[in-house]
Chain A
Amino acid sequence: MKAKQRKPLRQRRTSSEQRTRRRNLIRRALSLLLLLLCIVPMLGGGLQPLWVIPAAVCICMNEDLYFCMASGVLAGFGIDLACGSVLGVNAIYMVIICTAVCLLFEQILRRSFLHYFVLTAAGVFLHGMLRWVLTVGIFRTEGREFFWGRILLPSALLTLAAAVPVYLLYLPLSHLLTKRVRSMDAAAIRRDL
Chain B
Amino acid sequence: MNLNAFFRSAKFRVLLCLLALLTGIMLYSLKSGAHTDYLTRMMQHISAPARKASAAISGEVNEHLDTYFGSKAYRDENARLRKEIASLNAQLIGYDDAIEELEALRDQLGIKQKHRDFVLSEPCKVLMPVANDLTHSFLIDQGEEDGITLNAPVICADGLIGVITELSPHYATVTTMLSPELSIGAVILQTGDSGIVEGDLRYAVDDRAVMMYIDEHSTAKEGDLIITAGTTGLFPYGLPVGNITEIDLEESGLSKTAHLAPSVDFSKLESVTVLLDFEGKGESFGES
Contact assessment for A107 and B26 in the assembled complex, using a CB-CB cutoff below 8 Å: no
Q: With A65-B11, A107-B1 as known contacts, state yes or no: A83 contacts B132, CB within 8 Å.
A: yes
Contact assessment for B53 and A40 in the assembled complex, using a CB-CB cutoff below 8 Å: yes
A63 near B: Cβ within 8 Å? Answer: no
Residues on the B chain within 8 Å of A69, using CB: 14-15, 18
Residues on the A chain within 8 Å of B128, using CB: 43-46
A92 near B: Cβ within 8 Å? Answer: yes
B138 near A: Cβ within 8 Å? Answer: yes
A8 near B: Cβ within 8 Å? Answer: no
Contact assessment for B54 and A95 in the assembled complex, using a CB-CB cutoff below 8 Å: no
Q: With A44-B128, A95-B18 as known contacts, state yes or no: A86 contacts B204, CB within 8 Å.
A: no
Contact assessment for A89 and B201 in the assembled complex, using a CB-CB cutoff below 8 Å: no
Contact assessment for A146 and B134 in the assembled complex, using a CB-CB cutoff below 8 Å: yes
Residues on the A chain within 8 Å of B204, using CB: 143, 146
* Interface residue ranges of B172-199 to A (CB < 8 Å): 173, 180
B231 near A: Cβ within 8 Å? Answer: no
CB B154 to nearest CB in A, in angstroms, measures 16
B55 near A: Cβ within 8 Å? Answer: yes
Q: Which of A39, A86, A91, A141 contacts B30 (CB 8 A)?
A: A86
Interface of A is mostly: helix
Contact assessment for B43 and A89 in the assembled complex, using a CB-CB cutoff below 8 Å: no
Q: With A43-B50, A151-B132 as known contacts, state yes or no: A87 contacts B37, CB within 8 Å.
A: yes
Q: CB-CB contacts of A60-95 with B at 8 A, as 1s and 0s?
A: 000001100100010011000111101111011001
B207 near A: Cβ within 8 Å? Answer: no
Contact assessment for B201 and A146 in the assembled complex, using a CB-CB cutoff below 8 Å: yes
Cα–Cα, bound, A46→B65 (Å): 14
Cα–Cα, bound, A88→B18 (Å): 11
Contact assessment for A88 and B51 in the assembled complex, using a CB-CB cutoff below 8 Å: no
Cα–Cα, bound, A114→B37 (Å): 41
B157 near A: Cβ within 8 Å? Answer: no
CB A19 to nearest CB in B, in angstroms, measures 26
A177 near B: Cβ within 8 Å? Answer: no
CB A141 to nearest CB in B, in angstroms, measures 5
* Interface residue ranges of B29-44 to A (CB < 8 Å): 29-30, 35, 37, 39-40, 43-44
Cα–Cα, bound, A188→B131 (Å): 40
Q: With A48-B131, A83-B132, A150-B134 as known contacts, state yes or no: A88 contacts B201, CB within 8 Å.
A: no
Contact assessment for A84 and B29 in the assembled complex, using a CB-CB cutoff below 8 Å: no
B22 near A: Cβ within 8 Å? Answer: yes
Please name the residue on chain A nearest to B2 by beta carbon: A107
Contact assessment for B129 and A46 in the assembled complex, using a CB-CB cutoff below 8 Å: yes
CB B80 to nearest CB in A, in angstroms, measures 26
Contact assessment for B26 and A82 in the assembled complex, using a CB-CB cutoff below 8 Å: no
Q: With A45-B58, A146-B134, A151-B134 as known contacts, state yes or no: A88 contacts B202, CB within 8 Å.
A: no
Contact assessment for B22 and A43 in the assembled complex, using a CB-CB cutoff below 8 Å: no
CB B65 to nearest CB in A, in angstroms, measures 12
Residues on the A chain within 8 Å of B50, using CB: 39-40, 43
B73 near A: Cβ within 8 Å? Answer: no
A144 near B: Cβ within 8 Å? Answer: yes
Q: With A45-B58, A69-B14, A144-B201 as known contacts, state yes or no: A92 contacts B23, CB within 8 Å.
A: yes
Contact assessment for B19 and A81 in the assembled complex, using a CB-CB cutoff below 8 Å: no
Contact assessment for A41 and B19 in the assembled complex, using a CB-CB cutoff below 8 Å: no
B62 near A: Cβ within 8 Å? Answer: yes
Contact assessment for A44 and B57 in the assembled complex, using a CB-CB cutoff below 8 Å: yes
Please name the residue on chain A nearest to B48 by beta carbon: A43
* Interface residue ranges of B133-168 to A (CB < 8 Å): 133-134, 137-139, 166
CB B40 to nearest CB in A, in angstroms, measures 5
Please name the residue on chain B nearest to A85 by beta carbon: B35
Chosen A-B contacts, 21 in total, with CB atoms closer than 8 Å, are: A43-B51, A43-B55, A43-B131, A44-B58, A44-B59, A45-B58, A45-B139, A46-B129, A66-B14, A81-B43, A81-B44, A86-B30, A91-B25, A106-B1, A107-B1, A142-B180, A142-B201, A146-B202, A146-B204, A151-B132, A151-B134
A45-B58, A65-B15 are known contacts; what are 5 more A-B pairs with Cβ within 8 Å?
A41-B58, A45-B131, A86-B30, A92-B23, A143-B201
8 smallest beta-carbon distances between A and B, as pairs: A88-B26, A143-B202, A143-B201, A44-B58, A44-B54, A45-B128, A45-B129, A88-B25
